[in-house]
């Protein structure tokens, strides 16, 4: 069989631990036998990020801007334990944070639903997509420890040196403080991409924040969404019979749990980070979730939404077998290859992505799966297999 050729490189960002082990298995067994892969490779292994003072992460993000499509493996965000474990020179920033700061945009996370996997929340019949704003807020914040008897103020100095200041807190004892920001342009793009996605998917959209408490900050988000909706999207929504709703984040959580799904839930950066794990777990597993960052200039970065699966990696290092679910990593690859195919008019690449995703569905629906899915599968005769075994079965199930 002749391999599918590519015209434009895909930007490939390698990562850490068990996710990295699976990444290479997926490439070797599921991609390279079928596709003459043209990729621009960046190794985001923690040691390499440290050795390059994180230049490799910045270069990778800029390459995604240049070529338009990237695929990223999960990476470790270093903390003091990891600094010792990997003997690091630096405290590195979260690579996802660095990439999102460069690309800006919205991350769409959608569960991969399967007929034989019953969600932990059985009312959920249709996918719930999280649209996570991927710029600013706590991920770009500055925090400090504060000594007792210290007055903390927020000071804005304009270019003519005029100051606006407001008291944050007059500390009589030791404490902590944080400053965070966002930009109108980024919020507007976030809102625009959510409305566009709702129209494309013909699905209701809900945006949630906490405007009753964080008045100037969250009201800005709420107002920008409302203005854009009334100016540009209301008519399209009415024609499609879909709805836009704003509600408080606590009300949104309760509505989501009680719903049947079939909604796009737009969340601020931190809410989206937390709620996407809740949605993925509610639907079955962190490994049954797709994730794509869409930037204002049209770049797409695909990834699995789970982490590096550290505990499985430690078992793997001891020579033990693991049963780690590769589905989200495979779907990161198929998402990126399909987008590359669509942009380049490469129908074979699009068809291959569809076939590989179908092979994943067929495998789990046939009763062969990893340990994380066993309890949720409705199949009577099911088998829990190892990481390598499931990839081999998926490979055998690919029908081109």
Say how far apart CA 252 and CA 122 lie, in whole Å.
18
We find the least distance from the C-beta atom of residue 139 to ligand NAD, in angstroms, to be 13
We find the least distance from the C-beta atom of residue 346 to ligand NAD, in angstroms, to be 27
We find the least distance from the C-beta atom of residue 5 to ligand NAD, in angstroms, to be 30
In this complex, which beta carbon is closest to ligand NAD, that of residue 169 or of residue 314?
A: 314
Say how far apart CA 38 and CA 353 lie, in whole Å.
15
Range in contact with ligand NAD (rule: CB under 6 A) among 72-80, 104-112, 164-172, 342-350: 72-80
Range in contact with ligand NAD (rule: CB under 6 A) among 69-77, 112-120, 174-182, 207-215: 69-77
Q: How far is CA 32 from the centre of its chain?
A: 25
CB atoms within 10 A of CB 235: 9
Measured torsion, CA atoms of residues 358, 359, 363, 365, in degrees rounded to the nearest 10: 10
Contact present, 121 and 261 (Cβ < 8 Å): no
In this complex, which beta carbon is closest to ligand NAD, that of residue 41 or of residue 181?
A: 41
Q: Is 395 in the site for ligand NAD (CB under 6 A)?
A: no
Binders of ligand NAD in range 286-315 (CB under 6 A): 286-287, 303, 306-312
Measure CA of the first residue to CA of the last residue in the chain; give whole Å. Answer: 10
Q: Is 332 in the site for ligand NAD (CB under 6 A)?
A: no
**Alpha helices per DSSP H over 229-290:** 234-240, 249-258, 269-283
Range in contact with ligand NAD (rule: CB under 6 A) among 71-79, 120-128, 133-141, 349-357: 71-79
What residue is closest to ligand NAD based on CB?
307
Chosen residue from 39, 57, 75, 276 binding ligand NAD by CB under 6 A = 75
What's the CA angle centered on 151, arms 145 and 154, to 5 degrees? 85
Q: What is the DSSP letter of 319?
A: T
Does 20 show up as a binding residue in the annotation? no
Does 250 show up as a binding residue in the annotation? yes
Chosen residue from 39, 204, 259, 324 binding ligand NAD by CB under 6 A = 324
Binders of ligand NAD in range 354-383 (CB under 6 A): 372
Contact present, 176 and 144 (Cβ < 8 Å): yes
Say how far apart CA 397 and CA 378 lie, in whole Å.
21
Contact present, 206 and 265 (Cβ < 8 Å): yes
Does 100 show up as a binding residue in the annotation? yes
In this complex, which beta carbon is closest to ligand NAD, that of residue 4 or of residue 329?
A: 329
Does 255 show up as a binding residue in the annotation? no
Say how far apart CA 6 and CA 185 lie, in whole Å.
35
Contact present, 44 and 104 (Cβ < 8 Å): no
Say how far apart CA 44 and CA 277 lie, in whole Å.
23
Q: Is 198 in the site for ligand NAD (CB under 6 A)?
A: no
Q: Would you list which residues are annotated within the binding site for D-threo-isocitrate?
A: 77, 94-100, 109, 132
Binding-site residue numbers are 77, 94-100, 109, 132, 250, 273
Residues making up the annotated binding site for Mn(2+) are: 250, 273
Question: Which residues here bind ligand NAD, judged by CB under 6 A?
Answer: 74-77, 96, 286-287, 303, 306-312, 324-325, 372
């Amino acid at each position: 069989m002749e391999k599918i050729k590519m015209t434009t490189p895909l930007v490939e960002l390698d990562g850490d631990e068990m996710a990295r082990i699976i990444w290479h298995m997926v490439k070797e067994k599921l991609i390279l036998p079928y596709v003459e892969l043209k990729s621009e490779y960046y190794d985001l292994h923690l040691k390499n990020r440290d050795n390059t003072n994180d230049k490799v992460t910045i270069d990778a993000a800029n390459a995604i801007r240049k070529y338009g499509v990237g695929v990223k493996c999960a990476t470790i965000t270093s903390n003091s334990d990891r600094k010792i474990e990997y003997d690091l020179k630096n405290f590195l920033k979260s690579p996802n944070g660095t990439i999102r700061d460069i690309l800006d945009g919205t991350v769409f996370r959608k569960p991969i639903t399967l007929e034989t996997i019953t969600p932990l929340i059985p009312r959920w019949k249709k996918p719930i997509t999280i649209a996570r704003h991927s710029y600013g807020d706590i991920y770009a914040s500055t925090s400090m420890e504060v000594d007792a008897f210290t007055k903390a103020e927020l000071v804005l100095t304009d270019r003519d040196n005029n100051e606006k200041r407001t008291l944050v807190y007059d500390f009589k004892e030791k404490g902590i403080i944080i400053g965070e920001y966002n930009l109108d342009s980024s919020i507007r793009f976030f809102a625009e991409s959510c409305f566009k996605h709702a129209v494309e998917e013909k699905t209701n959209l809900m945006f949630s924040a906490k405007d009753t408490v964080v008045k100037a900050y969250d009201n800005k988000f709420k107002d920008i969404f409302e203005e854009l909706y009334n100016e540009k999207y209301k008519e399209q929504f009415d024609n499609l019979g879909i709805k836009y709703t704003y509600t408080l984040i606590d009300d949104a959580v309760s509505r989501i749990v009680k719903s049947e799904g079939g909604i796009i839930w737009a969340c601020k950066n931190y809410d989206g980070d937390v709620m996407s794990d809740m949605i993925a777990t509610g639907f079955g597993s962190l490994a049954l979730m797709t994730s794509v960052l869409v930037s204002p200039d049209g770049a797409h970065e695909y990834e699995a939404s789970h982490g590096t699966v550290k505990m499985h990696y430690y078992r793997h290092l001891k020579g033990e077998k693991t049963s780690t679910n590769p589905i989200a990593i495979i779907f990161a690859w198929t998402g990126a290859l399909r987008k590359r195919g669509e942009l380049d008019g490469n129908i074979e690449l699009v068809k291959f992505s569809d076939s590989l995703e179908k092979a994943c569905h067929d495998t789990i629906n046939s009763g062969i799966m990893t340990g994380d899915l066993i309890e949720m599968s409705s199949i009577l005769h099911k088998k829990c297999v190892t990481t390598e075994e499931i990839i081999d079965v998926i490979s055998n199930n690919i029908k081109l």
